[in-house]
């Protein structure tokens, strides 16, 4: 029986501007791609200068096999971004444009399959599948991926079908589940304050501005209108807007972050309400529960237990774990009173 061919991890060069939203999305992309096993090169030091590409960038373009192009109005007018993607074409590299503000990719790249990042969660899922960094085995979440997008060719000649659909993204969002807001579910270990600021504004999540959270707060956020349903004798709250199932309560006691692993393990070992895929929420998922006004003393719907005033998330900022504080209406990385609780979630 023939052995399956080993697929080498992609070597990715991320081309971006230093505009705030471009930079924030670049951080998200870098973290997610590294987590998925890709090798990634990003210019964090601002080494561009002069009229020619510096040696480090030239070497990185030569090393990579894929250029992920963070595309925006700012990128469209960037001399350096243009140098990077045009050099990638000359070097016969695979290019995946990732527009996130509605700016169409340049005409010369119109025949490239691109990933629409107006919705970051869907964009990340589609990008990972296009790079074969996520399963395409036919389960529900991946069945909407077109075969021509999974294996795009470098500088391919556009087919008649592609010519007819150049104005529409070739990677389309999945429509198999009646969910109106899909959120990132995998953890990011280098989720910076800029990432949080971008995420809160992207989803219009509410976050009170305090002295210690003003760098990322979003006090004008309106939050989301949930559609909660209590199930399993009051033990689970299902949000039909996000498709997430939450513990109605959670850990009875607060705990250190290292203690969360055992709590989740024990929850799955006993198959809580019949499932064994419970996990810590991402910061994005946990902040979706934040209400813009206090209800019964907390910034969370009273359908949830009052005990878990603060909950851990699976995201961290360089070793400092993010948590959500429903007493103060914020997310933070610094524990003031005592460690948070756990409220597990499943997708």
In tens digits, the chain (347 residues) has pLDDT values of 445 445 577 899 999 999 989 999 999 999 999 988 899 999 875 555 554 567 788 889 999 999 999 999 999 998 889 889 988 887 889 999 999 998 888 877 766 778 999 899 889 999 998 898 864 434 444 333 332 333 333 333 232 222 223 333 433 333 334 567 888 887 888 788 888 998 899 899 999 988 877 888 999 999 999 999 999 999 999 999 999 999 999 999 999 999 999 999 999 999 999 999 999 999 999 999 999 999 989 999 999 999 999 999 999 887 889 999 999 999 998 766 678 999 999 98
pLDDT value at residue 143: 39
pTM of the model as a whole = 0.55
pLDDT at 33: 93
pLDDT of res. 154: 31
Answer left, alpha or beta for residue 243, where phi above 0 means left and psi between -120 and 50 means alpha: left
Please report which helix (H) or strand (E) contains residue 266, including its range: helix 257-269
Q: Return the DSSP state at 332.
A: E
pLDDT at 146: 38
User: Beta strands 236-239 and 228-231: pairing type?
Assistant: antiparallel
pLDDT of residue 336: 60
For 94-160, give the DSSP string.
Answer: EEEEEE-SSPPPPGGGTTS-----SSHHHHHHHHHHHTT-S--SS-TTTTTS-HHHHSPPTTPPPPH
Residue range(s) in the chain whose domain bears CATH number 3.40.50.10140: 11-164
What fold, for 11-164?
Answer: Rossmann fold (3.40.50)
Question: What is the pairing mode between strands 320-325 and 330-332?
Answer: antiparallel
pLDDT of residue 45: 58
Separation between Cα atoms, residue 261 and residue 303, nearest integer Å: 26
Q: What is the pLDDT of residue 262?
A: 95
What is the spatial distance between Cα 150 and Cα 31, in angstroms, rounded to a whole number?
Answer: 21
**For residue 277, with 0-12 CB atoms within 10 Å meaning exposed, 13-18 middle and 19 or more buried, which class applies?**
exposed
Provide the residue count of the chain: 347
Question: Edge-to-edge, what's the strand order for the sheet holding 320-325?
Answer: 310-317, 320-325, 330-332
Q: For residue 46, what pLDDT is reported?
A: 58
Q: How far apart are CA 16 and CA 23, in angstroms?
A: 7
Residue 110 falls in which region: left (phi positive, over 0), alpha (psi -120 to 50) or beta = alpha
What is the model's pLDDT at position 136? 40
């Amino acid at each position: 029986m023939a052995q399956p061919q080993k697929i080498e991890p992609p070597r990715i060069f991320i081309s971006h501007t230093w505009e705030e939203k471009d930079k924030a999305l670049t951080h998200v992309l870098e973290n997610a791609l590294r987590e998925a096993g890709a090798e990634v090169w990003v210019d964090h030091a601002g080494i561009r200068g002069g009229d020619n590409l510096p040696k480090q960038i030239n070497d990185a373009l030569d090393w990579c096999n894929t250029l992920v192009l963070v595309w925006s109005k700012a990128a469209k007018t960037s001399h350096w971004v243009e140098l990077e993607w045009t050099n990638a074409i000359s070097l016969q590299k695979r290019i995946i444009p990732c527009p996130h503000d509605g700016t169409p990719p340049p005409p010369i790249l119109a025949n490239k399959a691109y990933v629409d990042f107006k919705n970051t969660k869907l964009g990340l899922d589609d990008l990972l599948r296009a790079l074969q960094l996520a399963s395409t085995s036919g389960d529900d979440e991946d069945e909407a991926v077109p075969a021509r997008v999974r294996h795009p060719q470098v500088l391919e000649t556009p087919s008649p079908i592609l010519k007819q659909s150049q104005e529409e993204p070739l990677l389309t969002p999945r429509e198999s589940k009646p969910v109106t807001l899909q959120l990132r579910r995998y953890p990011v270990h280098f989720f910076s304050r800029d990432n949080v600021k971008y995420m809160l504004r992207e989803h219009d999540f509410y976050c009170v501005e305090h002295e210690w959270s003003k760098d990322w707060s979003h006090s004008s956020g309106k939050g989301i209108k949930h559609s909660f349903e209590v199930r399993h004798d009051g033990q689970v709250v299902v949000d039909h807007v996000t498709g997430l199932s939450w513990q109605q309560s959670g850990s009875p006691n607060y705990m250190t972050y290292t203690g969360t692993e055992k709590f989740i393990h024990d929850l799955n070992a006993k198959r809580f309400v019949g499932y064994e895929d419970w996990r810590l929420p991402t910061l994005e998922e946990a902040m979706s529960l934040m209400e813009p006004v206090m209800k019964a003393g907390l910034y969370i719907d009273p359908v949830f237990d009052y005990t878990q005033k603060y909950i851990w998330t699976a995201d961290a900022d360089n070793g400092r774990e993010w948590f959500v504080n429903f007493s103060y209406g914020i997310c933070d990385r610094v524990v003031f009173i005592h460690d948070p609780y756990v409220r597990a979630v499943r997708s």
